[in-house]
């Protein structure tokens, strides 16, 4: 499960890198934790340069084990308003089948992510 967690956090780091190319002074933090429900939750928080608190968060929730998973991700304000959401559906699938769709979701919503990242 550690390799799965690392690959999802790496994906979030790539999204942070994309945001930082457009806005170099953003402060980013990526992390993860296992919830009591069995869900692996990963996130990237983004803080504008002069802000005291984050403006937005990208999160990924993973459910499943032994190589087959279900993913859900959202792009939201740090206050909790979800602006875009993606769900892999009820079928459990290998991570290497899910990640490309998740990347497309982030690419499709790159402008939204950048706008939220810049908000204070």
The CA-based diameter of the chain, rounded to the nearest angstrom, is: 43
pLDDT at 14 over 80: yes
Query: Which structural domain range is residue 48 located in?
Result: 2-118
Distance CA 25, CA 114 (A): 12
Q: Given this model, what pLDDT does residue 66 score? A: 81
Asked if residue 65 has pLDDT above 90, the reply is no
pTM, two decimals, is 0.93
Dump pLDDT digits (tens) for 31-49. 999 999 989 999 999 999 9
- Domain count along the chain: 1
Per-residue confidence (pLDDT) for residue 115, from 0 to 100: 96
Quick one: pLDDT band at residue 70, thresholds 50, 70, 90?
very high
- pLDDT tens sequence across 71-118: 999 999 999 999 999 999 999 999 999 999 999 999 999 999 999 999
């Amino acid at each position: 499960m550690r390799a799965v967690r690392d690959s999802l956090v790496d994906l979030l780091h790539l999204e942070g890198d994309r945001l930082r190319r457009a806005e170099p002074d953003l402060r980013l933090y990526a992390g993860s934790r296992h919830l009591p429900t069995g869900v692996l939750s990963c996130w990237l928080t983004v803080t504008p340069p002069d802000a005291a608190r984050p403006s937005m968060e990208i999160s990924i929730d993973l459910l499943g084990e032994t190589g087959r998973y279900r993913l859900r991700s959202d792009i939201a304000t740090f206050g909790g308003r979800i602006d875009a959401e993606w769900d892999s559906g009820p079928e459990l699938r290998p991570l290497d089948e899910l990640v490309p769709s998740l990347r497309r979701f982030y690419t499709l919503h790159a402008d939204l992510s950048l706008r939220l990242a810049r908000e204070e």
